[in-house]
Amino acid sequence: MNDQVRIAIQGVKASFHEEAAYKYFGREIETIECDSFKKTCEMLKQGKADYVVMAIENSIAGSILPNYNLLRDYRFHIIGEVHLNIQQHLLALPGVKLADIQFVESHPIAIRQCDEFLSDHPEWIVKEGMDTAACAKKILDDKLTHTAAIASEAAAQLYGLTILEKRIETNKKNSTRFLILSNELEEQKNANKASLSFQTSHSIGALASVLQCFAEQNVNLSKIQSMPVVGRRNEYDFYVDVEWKKQADYDAAIRKVLKHTVNFSIMGEYIKNEKI
């Protein structure tokens, strides 16, 4: 019987999602490859996975907005987070030279992370793929001699590809934040960070009043993201991440915020993962 924890990831073996799963859970896990973020959520909902590791923001490309919609629709519990330093490389089949390359393929976010490098090669046709590692695997499987993939060193090793150019990401402090999602509420002892969602009234200063509640209680607002409410003009869901040193400050802030918001939800309380 397999007692390994099952983690649904978007992408294939050696993807950054698998790397993030290993960093959070350790290597004694089973990763379930999915071709979309929605599929990872379905696996968790159906009990075919124990957790989902989901990228939510990148330091270069910004927030991954469609994933906020998935968080809203599936209402999973956020039980943790992990930051991964992202290093992108240009990979090709052994023997292929830079001059041979006509096509470059990778995940859209990875492509955006390497804008400057790609702009130096306007002759290349850049194509979007499902996942960084999947694009690397495709080069091996289809023996593509004129195509390079943007992916990790782990992908190069796993699929037997050569690194033509190392560290092609625009910003060398390129990092991605991943959320750990569970269908069950798992209380995290010593939690010092929370992800919240809410709506406010249309009155002037409504959002400012909410943010003031956190400031008054020494609760730090580390992220705020707004998303349009589907089908309702000029209405927004706000997603905020907050951090605190004293639990009592956070509890007091939440009591205050409840008076200024509607559809308030604590999406998860967890331990902050320090950036690399």
Please, what are the domains in the chain? 5-85+175-182 (3.40.190.10), 89-165 (3.40.190.10), 193-270 (3.30.70.260)
- Report the pLDDT value the prediction gives residue 230, as an integer from 0 to 100: 82
Query: Concatenated DSSP letters for 6-30?
Result: EEEEEB-TTSHHHHHHHHHH-SSEE
- Residue for token pair 């605190």: 244
Percent of the chain scored above 70 by pLDDT? 99
Coil, strand or helix: which one is 140?
helix
3-state class (DSSP) for residue 106: strand
Q: What is the pLDDT of residues 20-49, one digit of tens each?
A: 999 999 999 999 999 999 999 999 999 999
Average pLDDT over residues 107-121: 96
- pTM score of the predicted model: 0.93
Exposure of 39 by Cβ count < 10 A (0-12 exposed, 13-18 middle, 19+ buried)?
middle
pLDDT bin (cut points 50, 70, 90) of residue 276 is: low
- CA atoms within a 13 Å half-sphere pointing along the CA-CB vector of 118: 24
Segment 255-261 shows an average pLDDT of 96
pLDDT computed for residue 61 by the predictor: 87
Q: Determine contact, residues 83/24, Cβ cutoff 8 Å.
A: no
For residue 128, what are its two tokens? Answer: 């979007």
